[in-house]
Chain A
Amino acid sequence: MDMMLKPVILWTDVLIWLLVISITLFLSQLRKNPESREQWHQVFSSRTGMVTFVIILSYIAIALIDSLHFRKALPPVPGQNTTYYSNTVNSVLDIFLGEMGETKERTYSAPFSLKSYAKENMTDESGHIYRDYPDLKYAGSHLSDNSDFSKDLLIQSLKGAGKGLFIGLLLCALLKVFTHRQDLPWSSAMVTILLVCTLLGWLLHVGNLYHVLGTDKAGNDTLYHSIKGIRTGVLIGTLATLIMMPIAITLGICAGYFKGWVDDVVQYLYTTLSSIPGILLIAAAILQFQVFIDLNPDFFEVGLEKADARFLGLCFILGITSWAGLCRLLRAETLKISQLPYVQAAHAFGVSQVGILHRHVLPNVMHIILITFVLDFSGLVLAEAVLSYIGVGVDSTMPSWGNMINLARTEMSREPVVWWNLIGAFAFMFTLVLAANLFSDLVNDAFNPKKRQERGA
C-alpha cells in the first residue's frame, strides 16, 4: 500500500515524547500529595511563575510538534510500482511554517528588505549591463510595485496578528472553562498567551511574505532557522538530564543507603569523572562518536538520522558530565534520611531493602531531583551554543542557535554589518533561558527545604 507520507522515527523524537508522558504521569502522581500541591501552588501564585511557565510551555509545544517527522512521497513516474520518498525529512512544524523553509534566496538580505545584500550584474531592457541590488526572488514577490511595501506590510501584519489573536482568545476561553481555582493569577497567564499567539500569528503570516529576520549567507530564512532551533535547544536541555537521571538516582541512593564498599565505588566514580575537564571529555567523546558514525554509514537511512545520532550522543555525554553533581547531592541526602526513625522502624518491621528505598527514601529526595532538572535546563541550552562554536556540538546540518551564532561570527566584520543572524539566534535563546532561569528560581524557592526555612514559614 502506497502512502503519501512515510513517518521517520528518530531516537530523540521517541525520547522526548516518552519524557512528556512520564512527566505528565509524574505530575498527576504529585497531585495526590498535599504537600507538593501546596508547593506548586506557591510557584504558580506569583505572576512571574505564570508568565514564564506559559513561555516555556510554548517553546516545548513548538519543540514537540517539530518532533513528529515524516518524508513526503515523490510524485510517481509513469510505470513505476514502488513509491519513492523525498530525502528531506519534514516535521509537522514545517506544515505550520508553510513556505518559510523553502524560500531560498541567493545570499544575505536584511530583515524586511526587498533587495539583495550584494550587487549583481544585470541587464536592462535595452541590453545594457549595470550593477545594482537585485530584487529578492521570494520576499515581496506578491507585490506588483515595490512602493506598495509599507502599506502591504501594515495590512498583512494586521491580518497575521489578528489570526494569532483569535487563536489566543480561543485558548484563553478554554483555560477559563477548565480552571476553577480563583486564587491564582490567571489573568497574567492569559495576557501572556494572547501576546505569544499574536506574535506567532504575525511571524507566521508575515514571515511567509517577507524575510522578517533576513536571510543568511546561503539565502536561508533566518526566522525559519531560529524557530527550528527551538527543538534542539529544548531537547538538549531536557534529554541530557533525563538520560543521566536513572544512573545518578540509583547510584546516589545506593551509595548513601548501603554505605561500605558501594559508597567507596560510587564516590570513586564521580570524583574521577568530575576531575576530568568537562569540555575535553565532551570534545573527545563527540569526536570519537563522529568517527563511529562515519565508519558505520549503513546504520542510517537519511542524513538527518546521522545528525540525530550525534545529537543523542551529545545529550548522553552532557548528561555524564553533569551526573556527578546530582549523585553527590542524593548520596548526602540519603545518608541523612537512612538515619531517621521511620526508616529504622521500617527496617525493624522487616520491610525489604528495595521496599525501603522505594517507599521511604525515593519520595524524600524527589525535590532534589526536580530542582536539579529545572536548574540544569538553562545551563545546558547555553552550553549547546558554546559547544557548537568549538565544533563539538550538534551536527552542522542541524538547525541550532549555536550553529547560527558560529556562522554569524565572521558576519560582524562585514560592511555593512550583517547583524540579523546573531540577533535572531540570540533573541530566541535569550527568551527561553531567561524564562527558564526565572521559573527555576521559583521552583527552587518553593521546593528547597532550606529556602523554606529561611522564609520562616
Chain B
Amino acid sequence: MLAYIIRRLLYAIPILIGVNLITFILFFVVNSPQDIARAHLGEKYVTQDAIDHWVKEKGYDNPLIYNPNAAGFSKFTDTIFFHKSLSLFTFDFGQADDGRDITTDVRTRMGPSLALAIPTFIVGIWVNICVALIIVMFRGTRLDKAAVVLFVTLMSISGLFYIIGGQYLVATLWKLVPISGYQTSLSAWKFLILPVAIGIVSGIGLGARWYRTLFLEAADQDFARTARAKGVSELAVLFRHVLPNALLPILTGVVVVIPTLFMGSLLMEAFFGIPGLGSYMLDAIRAQDFAIVRTMVFVGSVLYIIGLILTDISYTIADPRVRLN
C-alpha cells in the first residue's frame, strides 16, 4: 500500500505542473506584467519608472517562460514561471501583490473556514443519511413519492436564495442571531450557527435523494431479503445490512470532499462576513491578485489529489476485498 501511495504522489507532480501552467497562461496570455503593474498602481497618473520599480520589486522582470539571454539550464530557471509558479512545490507561497505574506494569511484564515465547513459537512451527512433511511423505510408508499418530489423541489432552488432567504428570516426578521460577522473566540458559535444550518438545509435535496438511491439498491439485494425472511426487524435490516453495504459508494462521493473543506465556502463566507479562505479567494479574484490566486489554485489541486488518494485508501478499509496495486 505504501508503494501505491508513493506512486500516486509521483503521478501528482506532472498534474500539478500542468495546473500551474494553466493558471500561468491564463494570467499572462493577455496581461503582461506591465499591465498588471499599471492596474495595481492605478490606471492614470503613473510613471514608467513606478511601473518598472513595481515589476522589479515583485520579481516580474524576468521573461515569462523561456530566457534566451541566460546560459545553459537557467534558460528555463530564470523565468517568471519557474520563480513564481514552480516554487510553490516547496510550499513557499511568497507575498501577495499588496505585500502581505500569503502563508500567514492562509494559516490565520484556515480556522474560520474549518469552523464553518466541518460542522456543515458532518451534520449535513448525518441529516441526509437519516432522512434517506426514513424514506427508504417507507419505500413504495405515497410518502416515498412525495419525498422524492420534495427533494427535487429543494434541489431546484438556487443556493443564493437559501442564503438570502435564511438570512432575512432568521437574522433580520426574527433577530435570533447577528446578520454577519465573526469572533475568534468560542463565542463564534452565534455567528456560525445560521450559515451552518443554511448549508445543511440547502444540501438536503441533492444529498438525501442520492443516499435514497444508494440505499434502495442495497435494500433489494438478496442479503436484505434473507434477513427479512429470518424475521429481522426492518430497522435492524436497514442499520445492520443496508447501511454498511451502501458505504462503498457513499465513500466515493464523500471522502474526496474532506480535504477541500480547507478551502472554505465562497458564498457562505462572503454573505456572512466570515474571514475564511473562501472570502480570501473572492477578494483576490476581484483584486486580480495573481500571487494569491495561483497559490489557492495550487493548494486546491493538492487537496483534491489527496482526496482521491484517501478515497482509494478508504475503500480498502471499508471493503477488505479491494486491493490497491
Contact = CB atoms under 8 A, between A and B. Distances in A.
Contacts of A417: 168
Given A378-B156, A390-B270, A417-B168, 19 more contacts: A268-B18, A275-B301, A277-B263, A279-B266, A280-B281, A280-B297, A284-B297, A285-B26, A287-B285, A291-B35, A385-B158, A386-B160, A386-B267, A391-B286, A405-B164, A422-B161, A426-B158, A433-B158, A454-B217
Contacts of A409: 164
A430 interface: yes
Contacts of A271: 15
B155 A437 contact: yes
B158 A272 contact: no
A385 B297 contact: no
17 contacts: A272-B15, A275-B304, A275-B305, A276-B19, A276-B22, A277-B296, A277-B301, A280-B281, A283-B285, A284-B26, A284-B285, A382-B158, A405-B160, A412-B167, A422-B161, A426-B157, A433-B158
Contacts of B260: 277
A239 interface: no
Nearest to A423: B161
B153 A434 contact: yes
A112 B76 CA distance: 67
B252 interface: no
B160 A385 contact: yes
Contact of A429 (B19, B158, B296): B158
Interface of A: 268, 271-277, 279-281, 283-285, 287-289, 291-292, 295, 378, 382, 385-386, 389-392, 405, 408-409, 412-413, 417, 422, 426, 429-430, 433-434, 437-438, 441, 454
Question: What 6 A-B pairs come out closest when comparing CB atoms?
Answer: A277-B300, A272-B18, A434-B156, A433-B156, A275-B301, A283-B285
Contacts of A287: 285, 288
A385 B160 CA distance: 8
Give the residue among B14, B30, B153, B304 with the most A Cβ atoms within 10 A: B30
Interface in B164-204: 164, 167-168, 172, 179
Contacts of A280: 281, 285, 293, 296-297, 300
Contacts of B27: 284, 288
B152 interface: yes
B297 A276 contact: yes
Q: How many B residues touch the partner, as a band?
A: 35 or more
B215 to A, nearest CB: 14
Given A276-B22, A285-B26, A412 B172 contact: yes
Contacts of A422: 161, 164
Interface in B1-39: 14-15, 18-19, 22-23, 26-27, 29-31, 35
B285 A390 contact: yes
Contacts of B31: 288, 291
B156 A430 contact: yes
Nearest to B148: A441
B30 A291 contact: yes
A138 to B, nearest CB: 29
B224 to A, nearest CB: 15
Contacts of A288: 26-27, 29-31
Nearest to B297: A280
B63 interface: no
Interface string B262-306: 010011001000000000011001101000010011001100110
Nearest to B260: A277
A385 B14 CA distance: 34
A320 to B, nearest CB: 10
B91 to A, nearest CB: 17
Contacts of A434: 152-153, 156
Nearest to A422: B164
Contacts of A272: 15, 18-19, 22
Give the residue among A276, A405, A429, A433 with the most B Cβ atoms within 10 A: A276
B164 A284 contact: no
A232 B293 CA distance: 28
A48 to B, nearest CB: 9
A223 to B, nearest CB: 19
A292 B164 CA distance: 33
Nearest to B28: A288
Given A288-B30, A382-B159, A276 B301 contact: yes
Nearest to B172: A413
A277 B280 CA distance: 14
Nearest to A271: B15
Contacts of A391: 285-286
B285 A277 contact: no
B160 to A, nearest CB: 5
B296 A268 contact: no
A284 B159 contact: no
A274 B285 CA distance: 19
B209 to A, nearest CB: 10
B30 A412 contact: no
B225 to A, nearest CB: 15
A450 to B, nearest CB: 10
Given A389-B160, A405-B164, A295 B296 contact: no
Contacts of B282: 390
B18 A405 contact: no
A430 B297 CA distance: 32
B34 to A, nearest CB: 12
Contact of A389 (B19, B168, B263, B267): B267
Contacts of B285: 280, 283-284, 287, 390-392
A418 B203 CA distance: 27
B15 A441 contact: no
Given A386-B160, A391-B286, A438 B152 contact: yes
B168 A437 contact: no
A155 B196 CA distance: 49
A292 B270 CA distance: 27
A385 B15 CA distance: 31
A368 to B, nearest CB: 18
Nearest to A405: B160
Given A288-B31, A291-B30, A385-B158, A412 B164 contact: yes
A292 B23 contact: no
Give the residue among B19, B26, B167, B304 with the most A Cβ atoms within 10 A: B26
Contacts of B305: 275
A361 B137 CA distance: 41
B155 to A, nearest CB: 6
Contacts of B168: 412, 417
A8 B19 CA distance: 39
A293 to B, nearest CB: 10
A268 B304 contact: no
Given A385-B160, A433-B156, A434-B156, A275 B288 contact: no
Contacts of B286: 391
